[in-house]
Amino acid sequence: MDEIFDEVRAALYTVWHRRWLALAIAWGVCLLGWLAVALIPNSYASRARIYVDVEDVLSEQLGIAGDGREEITRVRQTLASNVNLEKVIKGTKLGEGITDRGAMNAAVADLSQKVSVRSEEDNLFEISATVGKGDLSDAENAVLARNVVQKLLDIFREEHIAGSRVGVNRALSKIDEQLAERKLELEEAEARRLQFEAKYPDLIGGSASLSAKIQQLRTEIRDINADLAGAQSSLANLNGQIEGTPRTIAGPGGVGGPKAALVQAQQQLAALKARGLTDQHPDVEAAIKQVVYLRQEAERAGPEAEFGTLNPAYSSLVAIRADRESTIQSLESRRAAIQSQIANLVASQASEPAVAAEANRISRDYDVLRQNYEKLLRDREDIRTRGEVDDETSQFKFDLIDPPVVPQEPAAPNRPLLLLGVLVVGCGAGAAAAWSLGQMRSTFMTAQKLERTFDLKVVGTVSKTVSDAGRMLARRRLMQFAGATAALLGVFVILLAIEVVAVRTVA
């Protein structure tokens, strides 16, 4: 510990012994350093914060809402791209004097280091820019920083609105190309399908379609059987009612019976046709059936049926029975036709398996192409609708929280700290130079250091005797040294004051 103390004391004595050298070097380093600090241009930083609304109520109501965060991420990543920074340079004073491509590339590279787009939250962003050009004044640099941020905000809006529109148009163009290709493929598949169906009409739609048709026909047969059973049951009941109903009823006399009823039915039929009704009209058909039946009854009745009146209830029941019998015949014919159709379909499916497989393939290819084509049509309509919604609602998606303003104080450099650093470095350089020079001289500042160096005992030391004139000279030189040191500190204080005044002047 004593050795360390002796070394420190010896170093301090060495520096003090050559204090004028240390002060001169400190003055030189400080002057050069302060001059360099003065030449550093002030850099001004401007920033803005924006809130981007990713909720699109109208798109959600239309069922075409997308994830806006992906679009925001894309804009954030491309905002500080070289293309956009070049737009900023050309739109501000940064582009003055730039004439060739090399200078523009250098300016873009420099600006990319001074511009940042930072995401504070999912949809809250901060855009900042720092500008400090040596050929511009502080006020011009401050305004330029604000203009750079404002230009970046304008690009942000353009990138979202125009970029979104361009993306929609690009997507629509690609879908249109795919639609054209799918349309040709669909037309070719439809031509093959029609050609195959013309050759094999029973195998339309493939085996799956055949199975569906057979199942549908069988269901229809079950329905017909149910209707036929109901009609037969109704006919049986109707026959029972007819058997219990008399054909004629007693009257006061005169001509009557089946012949009279036949004449009356013929008159009714003639009246219906006179109204312009055709034979296919239900009333006409019923009247014709009644005439036919009454003619048969009159022929069977013979002369004895001339007396009495034909029972109207009996005639009505007979007409209804004829209608029921016609319905039963129609249902039986329909059932026979469907059964024959089912048999033909089953025979076609079993006898020609290769053709059925081909029908399956053609039908499957056609269905797949048709579904893809319809899906592309829906996608195109959704994209077109979303593009229109984006155009209508994009102006409400951005909220400027903190607009860019002209900065009042420089962001860099920190001149007071730099001035103090230069002063510390200058004093340290002077002290180091004085100590280094003392080390190169073969002198010993203390007796202890002499003993350690030669490992010999120092018998004694001789004190330096100073006269009064010498003391006065030493005092005068000390005052001169103090004045020179105070002058150095005074220059430092003056420079600090100038810096404060300059900052306030810009503000």
Report how far residue 255's alpha carbon sits from residue 101's, in angstroms, rounded to the nearest whole number.
124
* Over residues 493-500, mean pLDDT: 88
Q: 386 and 459 share a domain?
A: no
Report the CATH number that the domain containing residue 104 is assigned in CATH: 3.30.1890
Q: Higher-confidence residue: 167 or 146?
A: 146
User: pLDDT tens digits for 49-78?
Assistant: 887 765 543 344 334 344 455 555 665 666
Q: Which two tokens stand for residue 234?
A: 């109704």
First to last CA, the chain: 55
Report how many domains make up the chain. 3
Q: 393 and 479 share a domain?
A: no
Taking phi first (over 0 means left), then psi (-120 to 50 degrees means alpha), and beta for anything else, what does residue 22 get?
alpha
Q: Cβ neighbours of residue 175 under 8 Å, at least 6 residues apart?
A: 376, 379, 380, 383
> Does a structural domain hold residue 478?
yes
* Over residues 503-507, mean pLDDT: 59
> Does a structural domain hold residue 408?
no
Peptide bond into 303 cis (omega under 30): no
Whole-prediction pTM = 0.46
Q: 53 and 152 share a domain?
A: yes
Mean predicted lDDT score pLDDT of the chain: 76
pLDDT tops 50 at residue 151: yes
Residue-level pLDDT at 57 = 37
Q: 28 and 69 share a domain?
A: no
pLDDT tops 80 at residue 392: no
> Does a structural domain hold residue 237?
no
Q: Which two tokens stand for residue 210?
A: 């055949």
Q: 278 and 390 share a domain?
A: no
| DSSP per-residue string spanning 149-216 | HHHHHHHHHHHHHHHHHHHHHHHHHHHHHHHHHHHHHHHHHHHHHHHHHHH-GGGTTHHHHHHHHHHH
Q: 33 and 58 share a domain?
A: no
> Does a structural domain hold residue 470?
yes
Report how far residue 134's alpha carbon sits from residue 145's, in angstroms, rounded to the nearest whole number.
14
Q: 166 and 54 share a domain?
A: yes
Q: 27 and 51 share a domain?
A: no
Alpha helices (runs of H) in 200-281, residue ranges in sequence order: 206-243, 257-274
* Over residues 333-347, mean pLDDT: 79
Report how far residue 228's alpha carbon sits from residue 325's, in angstroms, rounded to the nearest whole number.
11
* Over residues 404-410, mean pLDDT: 84
> Does a structural domain hold residue 421?
no
| Cβ atoms of 124 and 51 closer than 8 Å | yes
* Over residues 463-487, mean pLDDT: 84
Residue-level pLDDT at 490 = 94
Q: 87 and 128 share a domain?
A: yes
> Does a structural domain hold residue 281?
yes
Q: Tell me which amino acid residue 388 is.
A: E
Q: 105 and 16 share a domain?
A: no
* Over residues 100-129, mean pLDDT: 83
Question: Furthest-apart CA pair in the chain: how many Å?
Answer: 190
Q: Tell me which amino acid residue 169 is.
A: N
Q: Higher-confidence residue: 394 or 433?
A: 433
Q: Cβ neighbours of residue 284 under 8 Å, at least 6 residues apart?
A: 269, 272, 273, 277, 278
Residue-level pLDDT at 369 = 83
Q: 19 and 106 share a domain?
A: no
Q: Cβ neighbours of residue 185 under 8 Å, at least 6 residues apart?
A: 369
> Does a structural domain hold residue 228?
no
* Over residues 87-94, mean pLDDT: 86
How does residue 487 score in pLDDT terms, banded at 50, 70 and 90?
Answer: very high
| Cβ atoms of 145 and 72 closer than 8 Å | no
- Domain of residue 280: give its range: 252-310
> Does a structural domain hold residue 224?
no
Q: 23 and 49 share a domain?
A: no
How does residue 441 score in pLDDT terms, banded at 50, 70 and 90?
Answer: low
